[in-house]
Amino acid sequence: MASVRLEGVEKVYPNGHVAARGLDIAVADGEFMVLVGPSGCGKSTALRMIAGLETPTAGRVLIGERDVTALPPQERDIAMVFQSYALYPHMTVRQNLAFGLRMRGETAAAIAGRVEPAARALGLEGVLDRRPGQLSGGQRQRVALGRAMVRDPQVFLFDEPLSNLDAKLRVETRAELARLHRRLAATIVYVTHDQEEALTLGGRVTVMRDGLVEQVGPPMEVYRRPATMFVAGFVGSPAMNLLEGGLLLPPAARPTAAGDGSVTLGIRPHDVEIVAPGTGDTDARVDVAEPRGSELLLHLRLGADGGGAEVRVVAPPEPSVPVDAVVGLRCDRQRLHWFDSRSGRRLD
Amino acid sequence: MTRTGRWQTVALAVLVLATGFPFYWTIVSSLTPEARLFQAPSLIPTTLVLDHYRALFRERDFWVPIRNSLVVAGTTTAFCVAVGGLCAYALARLRFRGKAPILGLILAVSVFPQISVVSPLYLLLRSLHLINTYPGLVLPYLTFAMPLTVWLLVGFFRQLPAELEEAAMVDGASRLRAMWEVILPLALPGLAATAILTFVYCWNEFLFALSFTLGPERQTVPVAIALFRGQYQVPWGQILAAAIVATTPVALLVLAFQRRIVQGLTAGAVKG
């Protein structure tokens, strides 16, 4: 296993689209790093540059301490799981699993010695002689995983491998991936647009936007102390409330504006409590109430007349709150996030 | 049966009859004695003889033009698929400048009217001492067969997902190896369709074959048939027999690969 480093990597496509503007990402040996961000943020391009499927316009890519910027994919000793799985449709599962070993000139005995255990570990021993077209979605996903596992590469790359699975299978496979990482102690770079996946899987999470890194850190740090307003709004579900000027709080509790810019208050829907009208920090009118089983998601409008900014609050499912009721909101003072409205940076 | 159903059947029958009749008539005529060909033609033949076929192979040695056609069309097809396949792969997959102009240029080569290039090609082949040789036919055939092959194959290769090759390369294959192991097997229906179309095209070519051969030893089937007619008579029976002999192998080839051709020509039209 090896570390991976992107140093000042830029990527401009011939059509002028800029996918990376000076990326610096360092993945330690054996680390599970998740690149997360909205579509078009450059996370997939970053992964493809590590794989060698795209060439950076500027900067360096290092695997271990080796500069691989100019090397083609086959000389980088990596394994990749594609979003579409990219299984070879004309080969059996066994041949699919063996392909990488065969390309590296392993003997038939050595190949069998690696394919069989991998197939057993993934529960594929019954379908080894079938072709991908005869497999279920979950089985295909496991074949793609197995094809990467049998080879013992320097780095595993995952490009949204769970996005084609249904919700239940996704949760199961997520747990399987976490187990796999622990067992192999492998270096993994994992791309997803799903912030929940990023939080549950990542040893560390890199949040990206517009070809730039917004924040790097362990999942809970990114969740608890988002470095920018973008990260605050992107990570966590339901999304954090961002209120310019801190309207949610009584004027005395708002900080004096930093410099000449105004400030934005961020507070997660879980950190606001519903109280009797007039007893909290402010009053609001219930606009929509969505029961979600274990909790109730309320969309409210500030002010007793319901004409102010929208705020989302997660409340216990009981007692239920009727639509159009006026309630009080109390913010957890330990969980306030203040941002500079202009730069988007965190203030404390 | 409903009214529309009946009308459909009738319409279909008429269509089949109209398409099939010339073939039927050709086969029957090729088996009718020369003397009866022009008197009292009847739909149902009364006497069938193999005279014309015998004459074709005994008197005229029709094996020679068949051999020539097989050699020329076969060699051209093999070259086209091998070289055109690599070319089409590069045009479909690699990133380089001037891809569209190159594709346009390849197409432009094939749209010249054949008759306009016959004379310059003749002079060129003569100075290369290639008149009345197999290369003297294969090389000119490549000028129209290669663009056809490249265009068809570019289409087939583009339909295959790029992620498959990327996976193969990440798995340790070089680009050529990835093409050989992953892309070619998947493009096989397309390759077969292209090969057959190219072969049929060359098999039936007439103008170049007539212009660049001098004697029967290098003439292809269409040229040989055209030269059957003598000064005073046209041996219709033999011409029709030759037409049957020339068409049958190609028809069998197409029938055998029918499903692959249709698959190839419609591949990617729907998700499958």
How deeply is A58 buried, as exposed, middle or buried, from its count of CB atoms within 10 A (0-12, 13-18, 19+)?
A: middle
Which of A233, A259, A284 is the C-terminal boundary of a domain?
A: A233
Which of A166, A200, A233 is the C-terminal boundary of a domain?
A: A233
pLDDT at position B11 over 90? yes
pLDDT attached to residue A260: 54
The residue with greater pLDDT, B203 or A249, is B203
Find the residue in A nearest to B171 (Cα).
A100
B177 contacts on A by Cβ (under 8 Å)? 103
CA–CA separation, B63 and B68 (whole Å)? 9
CA–CA separation, B172 and B185 (whole Å)? 18
Domain architecture of chain B: domains with CATH: 3-49 (no CATH), 63-266 (1.10.3720.10)
DSSP collapsed to 3 states, B45-111: CCCCCCHHHHHHHHCCCCHHHHHHHHHHHHHHHHHHHHHHHHHHHHHHHCCCCCHHHHHHHHHHHHH
Question: pLDDT tens digit string along B12-36?
Answer: 999 999 999 988 888 888 888 877 7
Question: pLDDT tens digit string along A19-50?
Answer: 999 999 999 999 999 999 999 899 999 999 99
* Same-domain status, A89 and A205: yes
Tokens of A113: 């010695």
Q: What is the β-pairing status of strands A296-302 and A241-244? A: unpaired
The residue with greater pLDDT, B207 or B44, is B207
CA–CA separation, B208 and B76 (whole Å)? 14
* Same-domain status, A125 and A171: yes
B171 contacts on A by Cβ (under 8 Å)? 74, 79, 99-100, 103, 147, 151
Measured in Å, how far apart are chain A's first and last C-alpha atoms? Answer: 38
Which of A233, A258, A273 is the C-terminal boundary of a domain?
A: A233
pLDDT at position B264 over 60? no
Tokens of A155: 């780095």
Angle subtended by helix axes B236-256 and B184-204, to nearest 10: 170
pLDDT attached to residue A77: 92
Backbone φ/ψ region at A33: left (φ over 0), alpha (ψ -120 to 50), beta: beta
- What's the count of helices (H) and strands (E) in chain B, helices before strands? 13, 0
Q: How confident is the model at residue B271 (pLDDT cuts 50, 70, 90)?
A: very low
Q: Do B172 and A72 touch (CB under 8 A)?
A: no
pLDDT attached to residue A215: 95
Kindly report the nearest CA distance between residue A125 and chain B, in angstroms: 22
Q: How confident is the model at residue B270 (pLDDT cuts 50, 70, 90)?
A: very low
* Same-domain status, A216 and A248: no
- Those residues whose C-beta lies under 8 Å from the C-beta of residue B210, and which sit 6 or more positions away, are B222, B223, B226
* Same-domain status, A27 and A133: yes
A86 contacts on B by Cβ (under 8 Å)? 161, 163-164, 166-167
Query: 């998700």: which residue's tokens?
Result: B271
pLDDT attached to residue B91: 92
* Same-domain status, A159 and A203: yes
CA–CA separation, A119 and A125 (whole Å)? 5
Beta bridge partners of A191: A35, A159
A78 contacts on B by Cβ (under 8 Å)? 170
Question: pLDDT tens digit string along A132-189?
Answer: 988 988 899 999 999 998 988 999 999 999 888 888 888 888 888 888 888 888 899 9
Q: How confident is the model at residue A261 (pLDDT cuts 50, 70, 90)?
A: low
Q: How confident is the model at residue B269 (pLDDT cuts 50, 70, 90)?
A: very low
ipTM: 0.85
Beta bridge partners of A312: A299
Find the residue in A nearest to B166 (Cα).
A53
* CATH code of A275's domain: 2.40.50.140
pLDDT attached to residue B41: 66
* Same-domain status, A92 and A222: yes
Query: 């569209």: which residue's tokens?
Result: B100
pLDDT attached to residue A116: 92
pLDDT at position B272 over 50? no
Weakest-pLDDT range from A63-72, A185-194, B21-30: B21-30
* Same-domain status, A198 and A317: no
Percent of chain B with pLDDT over 70: 94
CA–CA separation, B170 and A151 (whole Å)? 11
Q: What is the mean pLDDT of chain B?
A: 86
pLDDT attached to residue A317: 86
* Same-domain status, A249 and A116: no
Q: Which helix (H) or strand (E) holds A32?
A: strand A32-36
pLDDT at position B265 over 60? no
pLDDT attached to residue B67: 93
Query: 């219930």: which residue's tokens?
Result: A286
Q: How confident is the model at residue B255 (pLDDT cuts 50, 70, 90)?
A: confident
Q: State mean pLDDT over B52-70.
A: 88
Q: Do A90 and B163 touch (CB under 8 A)?
A: no
* Same-domain status, A228 and A281: no
Kindly report the nearest CA distance between residue B163 and chain A, in angstroms: 6
Using alpha carbons, select from A241, A252, A262 the residue that is nearest to residue A335.
A241
Find the residue in A nearest to B186 (Cα).
A90
Q: Domain tally for chain A?
A: 2
CA–CA separation, A152 and A83 (whole Å)? 20
Beta bridge partners of A314: A297
| B168 in A contact zone (CB under 8 Å) | yes
pLDDT attached to residue A233: 93
CA–CA separation, B38 and B28 (whole Å)? 13
Beta bridge partners of A21: A10
The residue with greater pLDDT, A283 or B257, is A283
pLDDT attached to residue B260: 67
pLDDT at position B235 over 90? no
Tokens of B86: 């690599």
Residue A342 DSSP label: T
| B215 in A contact zone (CB under 8 Å) | no
pTM comes to 0.81
* Same-domain status, A198 and A275: no
Weakest-pLDDT range from A59-68, A138-147, A164-173, B218-227: A164-173
B166 contacts on A by Cβ (under 8 Å)? 51, 53, 73, 80, 82, 86
Question: pLDDT tens digit string along A290-342?
Answer: 998 899 999 999 887 777 889 999 999 888 888 888 999 999 989 999 998 88
**How far lies A54's CA from each of A51, A235, B171, B237, in Å?**
8, 28, 16, 66
The residue with greater pLDDT, A62 or A263, is A62
CA–CA separation, B269 and B267 (whole Å)? 5
Find the residue in B nearest to A52 (Cα).
B170
B170 contacts on A by Cβ (under 8 Å)? 51-53, 73-74, 78-80, 157
How deeply is B206 buried, as exposed, middle or buried, from its count of CB atoms within 10 A (0-12, 13-18, 19+)?
A: middle
Backbone φ/ψ region at B126: left (φ over 0), alpha (ψ -120 to 50), beta: alpha
* Range of the structural domain that residue A265 is part of: 244-340
* Same-domain status, A204 and A250: no
In a domain, A88, yes or no: yes
Percent of chain A with pLDDT over 70: 98
In a domain, A327, yes or no: yes
Find the residue in A nearest to B184 (Cα).
A90
Length of chain B: 272
* Same-domain status, A184 and A297: no
Q: What is the mean pLDDT of chain A?
A: 90
- Pick the residue of A13, A15, A44, A53 with the most B CBs within 10 A to test the interface with B by mutation: A53
pLDDT attached to residue B263: 64
Residue A115 DSSP label: H
8 Å CB contact between B69 and B55: no
Q: Which helix (H) or strand (E) holds A298?
A: strand A296-302
Q: State mean pLDDT over B250-263.
A: 76
